[in-house]
Amino acid sequence: MSHLLELFKQGGWAMYPIACLLVVSTTVMLERIYKIIFIYDANGADLMQKVQRHVLENNVEEAIKICNQKKDAAVYQIFKAALMNANRPFDEIQDQVEVTKLGIVPKLQVRLPYLFTIANTATLMGLLGTVLGLIRTFHAIGAVEGSQKQLLLSAGIAEAMNCTAFALMVAVPTMLVYGFLYNRITVLTDSLDHYSAQLLVLLRTGSQYFDRFKSDTAVSTQQTPKKKSA
């Protein structure tokens, strides 16, 4: 630990803003990983299977109860918005789904651009610290005797390299996590589109499977449930 502290001190003033960037990036990465993977993400196929069974049985209330099991999960929120309005015209159900989706997607992407910015800023800060360290070293070399020039040069190069290395140690993991989360959000968004479309199709055409209830309790108000012919 003492060796790491010594290397940190050798890196010069630029090490401190880079360290601040490290703290911010670590906080954002942990928060985004937790939110996206453990809160917003969910098994859409499993939810669709459960909801479909209840909808085809005209038991929308039970389907809504299932959606309440994970209130913060993105796909659960969209399904609940659609099912809560299942007795409305189909156009209104679509609008509710789109409004809910527009509210969810920004929550997935919030603070994610910070990681990209931090990675680039850390790299540039490392470069700036390196260049300024070398400039200060060469200026100092010109003002000392020859016996001390080698010592100052080695100290200056060590400062520059430590600063660059620390900056890259911050930038590389931050950029990798950014890429991982960006891809995860893209997959999650595509999944929302896929399963919300499936649910809308189910709510629009599902009434043709019903033959045990009245039209005023149908899932979709735009279609009259078909009854078995005598």
pLDDT of residue 6: 67
Q: Hey, what amino acid is at 182?
A: Y
C-alpha distances in angstroms, 65 versus 62, 87, 139? 5, 16, 72
pLDDT digits (tens), the chain, 230 positions: 666 676 677 677 888 999 999 999 999 999 999 999 999 999 999 999 999 999 888 889 999 999 999 989 999 999 999 999 988 898 999 999 999 999 999 999 999 999 999 999 999 999 998 888 888 777 777 666 666 777 777 777 877 888 888 999 999 999 999 999 999 999 999 999 999 999 998 888 865 544 333 444 444 444 443 444 44
pLDDT of residue 48: 93
pLDDT of residue 135: 82
Q: Hey, what amino acid is at 67?
A: C
